[in-house]
Amino acid sequence: KQEVTQIPAALSVPEGENLVLNCSFTDSAIYNLQWFRQDPGKGLTSLLLIQSSQREQTSGRLNASLDKSSGRSTLYIAASQPGDSATYLCAAPGDAGNMLTFGGGTRLMVKP
Amino acid sequence: NAGVTQTPKFQVLKTGQSMTLQCAQDMNHNSMYWYRQDPGMGLRLIYYSASEGTTDKGEVPNGYNVSRLNKREFSLRLESAAPSQTSVYFCASSEGWAYNEQFFGPGTRLTVL
């Protein structure tokens, strides 16, 4: 059974810092991995989907990497802004199609 | 496009009452999902519909039923609500079953007293 872990659970940084969020998974035979953002009391917004054939995926100030052999993915946020404050979740499919297993999330606070 | 919509946004039930959570998507997606999100437990899959006409159990299906009404709509029913079903419920959809990006609705916050 796929297990997904995110470290750290919470992170507080000053505005402007570059930061890295970590995601690890136990079943490396994954086809893709998805990163989401969740604002308090809101739904999940898809940020990036990395296919197993890709090593990186970029969207604006966000860059996600995937290393299947080590069971790890990272989300890099460049030049962080207060508007980036949210919970970031990663999710990986198990061995049955598109059934996602979610990590516990990293709660990010960017201070002005 | 509205994406994935859910109704209602909030609901309070008494133990034993029933209700149906509604979900609709306008992206012509084939696959739809219901998740629940609980503090300390994260997001867990309740049921999914890989394509119109099919439904299957996820990780935590007990106490729930689903109906894939048509390609756009996927409903979740609680026949006899219990306090343990107090949670935030999210509906999601994806283009297909084969490892596609999932898009989520805004959620329904359910409290069972």
In angstroms and rounded to an integer, the radius of gyration of the C-alpha atoms of chain B is: 13
pLDDT of residue B100: 82
Beta-strand ranges (E) seen in chain B are: 4-7, 10-13, 19-25, 31-38, 42-49, 56-57, 64-68, 74-78, 87-94, 102-104, 108-112
- What is the least distance, in Å, from the CA of B103 to any CA of chain A? 6
The C-alpha angle with vertex A41 and arms to A39 and A47, in degrees rounded to 5, equals 30
CB neighbours of A4 closer than 8 A, spacing ≥ 6? A23, A24, A25, A26, A90, A91, A92, A101, A102, A103
pLDDT of residue A94: 74
Spell out which residues of chain A touch residue B105, defining contact as CB-CB under 8 Å. 43
Task: Verify whether the Cβ–Cβ distance A91 to B43 is below 8 Å.
Answer: yes
Task: Verify whether the Cβ–Cβ distance B107 to A93 is below 8 Å.
Answer: no
Parts of chain B with a pLDDT under 70: 98-99
Q: Does A71 touch chain B (CB under 8 A)?
A: no
Q: Is A15 left (phi over 0), alpha (psi -120 to 50) or beta?
A: beta
Spell out which residues of chain A touch residue B31, defining contact as CB-CB under 8 Å. 98
pLDDT of residue B1: 77
Strands B74-78 and B19-25: antiparallel
- The closest CB to that of A44, out of B99, B100, B104, belongs to B104
Q: Does A99 touch chain B (CB under 8 A)?
A: yes
Closest CA to B43 of A7, A66, A36, A64: A36
The C-alpha angle with vertex B76 and arms to B71 and B77, in degrees rounded to 5, equals 135
pLDDT of residue A1: 82
Whose tokens are 């059974």? That residue is A1
Task: Verify whether the Cβ–Cβ distance A102 to B100 is below 8 Å.
Answer: no
Whose tokens are 């029913």? That residue is B77
Parts of chain A with a pLDDT under 50: none
- Closest CA in chain A for residue B35: A100
pLDDT of residue B3: 95
Q: Tell me the C-alpha distance between A83 and A35, whole Å.
A: 17
Phi (first) and psi of residue A37, to 5 degrees: -120, 140
Tokens describing residue B33 = 């999902």
DSSP characters over A43-70: -EEEEEEEETT-SEEEETTEEEEEETTT
Inter-chain Cβ pairs, chain A and chain B, closer than 8 A: 57
Q: Does A40 touch chain B (CB under 8 A)?
A: no
